[in-house]
Amino acid sequence: MKRTCYIAINGIRANPGDADGWTDRFVTWINTRLPDGVVAEKFEYYTSALLRLMRQRQRADEISKKVGYYRRAGYRLVLVGHSNGCDLIARVLEACGAEIDAAHLISPAADEEDFAEAIREGLIRRIHIYGSRHDGALRFAAATRPLIGWLGLGYGSLGLRGREFAELFPEVVQDHSDDSCGHSTWLQRGPRFEALMQDISRNDLADHRIPYTTTFIGEEWRPGERDANDE
């Protein structure tokens, strides 16, 4: 099994100082429950809904640097985001110009077209969506986007349409939506979080069977050639 690094990315109004936040629990779960050679990192920040775009590009650039460190060390990269963290993943794909092995999008407050473009350009091998048609935060986002989007405000609502997006790109996107969930139900402490982590682990194990089609050239990875480290 190829060495793997997971990077967890929170959404808005998360407190980086909370030692029991979902990103902390995520890192502990990966580092204690999965085999040697599988590690987890986190990228934490605080922002409000109205101010999230002010440093969004800078945050994406910081995550991209972390991705680069692990890529150069020969790791698979798996990005896991919640809400606005999924929008950051889309921006990382654009900024890196390098293939990410997989993204797990939890209640993604992101735009379909950003990920569609990454798929078309070969920058992502697998996308897993954990959404809900009954996600109240994303339903509000979808309703208000036409009113405030022209101001550069609002956010995407991909989590409402995981099934439809998976139908557009069946070779890359897998939908695991559960309409009984709200925006943060997946991350609730206890059995719900344990079930999510089991799903992510199981889904990523299956992703190891996807043929590896990129190679490292200087400081970039380009599609089309097999990585010798995947043997």
> 206 near 176, Cβ under 8 Å?
no
Listed residue (222, 223, 206, 216) closest to 1, CA to CA? 206
**pLDDT score recorded for residue 224:** 37
Q: Average per-residue pLDDT in the chain?
A: 86
Q: From its phi and psi, is residue 152 left (phi > 0), alpha (psi between -120 and 50) or beta?
A: left
> What residue spans define the domains of the chain?
4-230
- Give the pLDDT confidence of 131-188 residue by residue, as tens digits: 999 999 999 888 876 665 544 555 788 999 999 999 999 999 999 999 999 999 999 9
Looking at residue 221, its pLDDT comes to 34
Q: For the chain, which ranges sit under pLDDT 50?
A: 150-151, 214-231
In CATH terms, the fold of domain 4-230 is Rossmann fold (3.40.50)
* CA distance linking residue 128 with residue 105, whole number of Å: 6
pTM (2 decimals)?
A: 0.86
The answer to whether the beta carbons of residues 196 and 187 sit under 8 Å apart is yes
